[in-house]
Amino acid sequence: MIKACSLSIKEYPILNSSIHVDNMTITNHSRHDIGIAMDSDRGLVVPVIRNCEQLSIMDIAMELNRLRDLAVNGSLSEKDLVNPTFTISNIGSIGGTIMSPVILPPQVAIGAMGKIQRVPRFVSEDSMEVRESHVMNISWAGDHRVIDGATLGRFSNLWKAYIESPMMMAFAMR
């Protein structure tokens, strides 16, 4: 999910920017420092996986596990928590399905993933055949001073395509 997000940010870099309301300027960030919201015994923490654009999926998984272990032990440092350029929340980990994620300024976008649900789906528009399908809702929020809804929608569609087609994502990673 995190690597798919980073690859999608490459195509829609405005989502990886920040807005400075003092002088109404926008800073575009080349580094994909993605904050991952986590539930901990001490409440919500958002550690940051740095340079996701340069990391492999395995590197991201190892860093995510390291940060999760630090969060569980209450050992996250300030360095682990500051200056994300984009944030992902996983409400699915606590059984949530849909939410309205809140942007943490100066970031301009955030995504919230719901739990994967098993649901019935029609095979096609002109068929009455129903099959089992697995669906995950994701909710996005964007600061409309910087991002328009169509850009956020295209970003979401690309992210979805990477998740649904790992081979497409592998080719995008080079």
Query: Hey, which residues are catalytic here?
Result: 144, 148
Q: Which helix (H) or strand (E) holds 83?
A: none
In angstroms, the Cα distances linking 30 to 36, 53, 63, 128, 136 are 18, 9, 20, 48, 29
Tell me phi and psi for residue 136, to 5 degrees. Answer: -130, 125
DSSP 91: G
Hey, which bits of the chain come out as E strands? 17-20, 25-28, 34-40, 43-45, 48-49, 86-90, 109-122, 130-142
Angstrom distance (rounded) from CA 85 to CA 13: 11
The 3-state DSSP class for residue 15 equals: helix
